[in-house]
């Protein structure tokens, strides 16, 4: 509603019911471009529910500790997603205009800049993990579980800038298949097996390390996609 009000007040164009498209292909294109985001959000919910169920046998303190870790991780992740979403219109506009060199530079800048910000926040979380956990929970058992889990998470978050910008890139240039595959990785194809294997062999420690390991796997898998785009896309204008 806020965006609509601002649009009506400030935009140079106008909205008209007559201008609503009747072409099904346009709506299909919208769905294809948005499908990776749907996968990403859906798998976040599924993996979050699985994480809670696997943590439940280890007691309320373990659940509370993981909740604190997830809050801090979400804060850092949203910074990464925000930078990636800011890159999307730049990538989309310049790719369609065949200014591929700008897209390449934008991808490199977004990855490096995102890494610097995420690394700064992760270092803060790693160094002050115990203090951060104590802000949310003061129970002794939670403070025992939370700081190691938060340190693991901070290490895993360093791989986030390798996965988010390239995912947003392929989504922006309408390569929905690649973007959907990359969206499946972090909260699905990498995390869910890691959780199930980790809890089986390492119990609670396996749960604590599952997301960081999944982040690392996702980041490493994304590297070839970054290199492929940089090497095989012509410089253009």
pLDDT digits (tens, 9 = 90+) for 55-88: 999 999 999 999 999 999 999 999 988 998 899 9
For residue range 111-152, list pLDDT tens digits in order. Answer: 999 999 999 999 999 999 999 999 988 899 999 999 999 999
Give the per-residue pLDDT at 153. Answer: 96
* Full-model pTM: 0.87
Segment 89-107 mean pLDDT: 93
For residue range 203-220, list pLDDT tens digits in order. Answer: 999 999 999 999 999 999
Segment 99-103 mean pLDDT: 94
Cβ-based neighbours of 121, under 8 Å, separated by 6 or more? 75, 76, 79, 157
Give the C-alpha distances (Å, rounded to integers) separating 194 from 46, 151, 164, 190. 14, 18, 20, 6
Measured over the CA atoms of residue 192, residue 194, residue 195 and residue 199, the dihedral's sign is positive
- Residue 191 CA to residue 43 CA, distance in Å, equals 10
Q: How confident is the model at residue 236 (pLDDT cuts 50, 70, 90)?
A: low
Tokens linked to 20: 């609503």
For residue range 220-233, list pLDDT tens digits in order. Answer: 999 999 999 999 99
Q: What is the CA radius of gyration of the chain?
A: 20
**DSSP for 51-67?**
HHHHHGGG-HHHHHHHH
Give the per-residue pLDDT at 237. Answer: 60
Comparing CA positions, the residue from 72, 77, 65 lying closest to residue 208 is 65
- Residue 102 CA to residue 233 CA, distance in Å, equals 11
For residue range 15-37, list pLDDT tens digits in order. Answer: 888 888 989 988 988 888 888 88
Give the per-residue pLDDT at 198. Answer: 95
Rounded (5°) CA angle 76-82-83: 95
Residue with tokens 């699985």: 50
């Amino acid at each position: 509603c806020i965006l609509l009000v601002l649009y009506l007040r400030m935009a140079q164009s106008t909205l008209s019911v007559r201008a609503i498209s009747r072409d099904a292909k346009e709506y299909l294109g919208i769905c294809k471009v948005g499908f990776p985001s749907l996968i990403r959000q859906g798998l976040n919910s599924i993996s979050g529910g699985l994480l809670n169920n696997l943590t439940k046998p280890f007691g309320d303190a373990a659940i509370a500790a993981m909740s604190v870790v997830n809050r801090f991780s979400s804060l850092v992740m949203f910074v990464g997603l925000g930078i990636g979403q800011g890159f999307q219109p730049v990538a989309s506009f310049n790719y369609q205009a065949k200014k591929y060199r700008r897209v390449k530079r934008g991808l490199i800048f977004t990855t490096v800049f995102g890494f610097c910000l995420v690394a700064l926040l992760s270092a803060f979380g790693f160094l002050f993990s115990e203090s951060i956990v104590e802000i949310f929970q003061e129970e002794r058992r939670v403070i025992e579980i939370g700081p190691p889990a938060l340190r693991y998470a901070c290490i895993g978050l360093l791989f986030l800038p390798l996965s988010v910008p390239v995912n947003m890139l392929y989504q922006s240039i309408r390569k929905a298949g690649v973007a959907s595959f990359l969206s499946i990785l972090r909260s699905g194809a990498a995390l869910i097996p890691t959780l199930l294997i980790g809890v089986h062999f390492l119990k609670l420690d396996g749960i604590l390390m599952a997301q960081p390991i999944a982040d690392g796997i996702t980041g490493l898998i994304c590297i070839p996609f970054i290199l492929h785009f940089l090497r095989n896309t012509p410089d253009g204008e």
